[in-house]
């Protein structure tokens, strides 16, 4: 007989007080409350393109100018956003438990760095970051918060459906700054048809295997392999609590489900 997840906040907070190693899995729902577009589902278009048409290696090979316009638009958009109360509650919780000698890890599917800006430190970015680049030639990965990322993209990237691609020459697109390299840069994000970084994945699995409490926050639980993380933890008998505006396909496997905006739930759930 299946048992419905509990919405008893007092019971959850008693478990939280006992926990020594907490893993927090976050998805787009956390950042949506900061005004960050998800580019998933209805309305998730840029111009007339869906993210699945632009966020692929083949799209970049065939039209790097168009793909860079899209990512330039996303970088500039997110640079204007701020961490919300959910990001802040997670960061404050991490700092508090770290001072107590406990472990808190944030494993995020988000690429916006809002967890870092809120003050979180122990973060694993499963899908990379909009504010990192990788050289196609020398493979070097670097942080990059330049605005614009290159002069040729200044003022470009409008999301208007009537806007056309600029066809910026490849030599004017973001280039590697390593002396004697100068290769074309790509956004350091995991695109469709690519696999996760095995080093990041191994670190995530290590955190998940050693945790004694798992929080699933603002994620639809449909993107693999991250969608399997919390169910696998729950299958080991470790308590899992889900915080989301709605239930997901994995909700029935968890001990707790709290429905509502993460920015309202987390300051209460994670308070001292």
Q: Does 27 appear as a known binding residue?
A: yes
Q: Does 37 appear as a known binding residue?
A: yes
Q: Does 4 appear as a known binding residue?
A: no
Q: Does 57 appear as a known binding residue?
A: no
Q: Does 28 appear as a known binding residue?
A: yes
Q: Does 40 appear as a known binding residue?
A: yes
Q: Does 52 appear as a known binding residue?
A: no
Per the CB < 8 A criterion, the answer to whether 41 and 126 are in contact is no
HEC string of the chain equals CCCCCECCHHHHHHHHHHCCEEEEEECHHHHHCCCCCCCCCCCCEECCEEHHHHCCHHHHHHCHHHHHHHHHHHHHHHHCCCCCHHHHHHHHHHHHHHHCCCEEEEEECCCCCHHHHHCCCCEEECCEEEEEEEECCCCCEEECCCCCCCHHHCCCCCCCCCCCCCCCCHHHCCECCCCCCCCEEEEEECCCCCCCCHHHHHHHHHHHHHCCEEEEECCCCCCCCHHHHHHHHHHCCCCEEEEECCCCCCHHHCCEEEECCHHHHHHHHCCC
Q: Does 36 appear as a known binding residue?
A: yes
Q: Does 45 appear as a known binding residue?
A: yes
Q: Does 190 appear as a known binding residue?
A: no
Q: Does 41 appear as a known binding residue?
A: yes
Q: Edge to edge, what strands does the sheet with 103-108 contain?
A: 123-125, 103-108, 21-26, 213-217, 240-244, 256-259
Q: Does 138 appear as a known binding residue?
A: yes
95 counts as catalytic: no
Q: Which of 72, 73, 87, 127 is catalytic?
A: 127
Separation CA 120–CA 237 (nearest Å):
27
Q: Does 218 appear as a known binding residue?
A: yes
Q: Does 32 appear as a known binding residue?
A: yes
| Residues with active-site annotation | 127
Q: Which residues are annotated as a binding site for Zn(2+)?
A: 135, 138, 176, 181
Q: Which residues are annotated as a binding site?
A: 27-46, 71, 74, 109-112, 135, 138, 176, 181, 218-220, 244-246, 262
Q: Which residues are annotated as a binding site for NAD(+)?
A: 27-46, 109-112, 218-220, 244-246, 262
Q: Which residues are annotated as a binding site for substrate?
A: 71, 74
């Amino acid at each position: 007989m299946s048992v419905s997840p509990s919405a008893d906040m007092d019971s959850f907070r008693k478990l939280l007080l006992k926990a020594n190693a907490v893993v927090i899995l976050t998805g787009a729902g956390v950042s949506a409350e900061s005004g960050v577009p998800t580019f998933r589902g209805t309305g998730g278009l840029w111009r007339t393109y869906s993210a699945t048409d632009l966020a692929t290696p083949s799209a970049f090979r065939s039209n790097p100018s168009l793909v860079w316009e899209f990512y330039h638009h996303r970088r500039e958009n997110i640079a204007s956003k701020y961490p919300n109360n959910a990001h802040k509650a997670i960061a404050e919780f991490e700092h508090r438990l770290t001072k107590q000698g406990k472990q808190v890890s944030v494993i995020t599917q988000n690429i916006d760095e809002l967890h870092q800006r809120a003050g979180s430190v122990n973060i694993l970015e499963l899908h990379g970051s909009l504010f990192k680049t990788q050289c196609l030639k020398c493979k070097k990965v670097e942080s990059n918060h330049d605005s614009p990322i290159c002069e040729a993209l200044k003022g470009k990237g409008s999301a208007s459906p009537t806007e056309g691609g600029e066809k910026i020459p490849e030599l004017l697109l973001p280039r590697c700054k390593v002396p004697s390299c100068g290769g074309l840069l790509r956004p350091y994000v995991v695109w469709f048809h690519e696999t996760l970084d095995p080093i990041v994945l191994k670190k995530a699995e290590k955190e998940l295997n050693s945790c004694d409490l798992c929080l699933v926050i603002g994620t639809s639980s449909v993107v693999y392999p991250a969608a399997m993380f919390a169910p696998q933890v729950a299958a080991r008998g470790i308590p899992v609590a889900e915080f989301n505006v709605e239930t997901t396909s994995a909700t029935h496997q968890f001990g707790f489900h709290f429905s509502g905006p993460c920015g309202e739930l987390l300051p209460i759930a994670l308070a001292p």
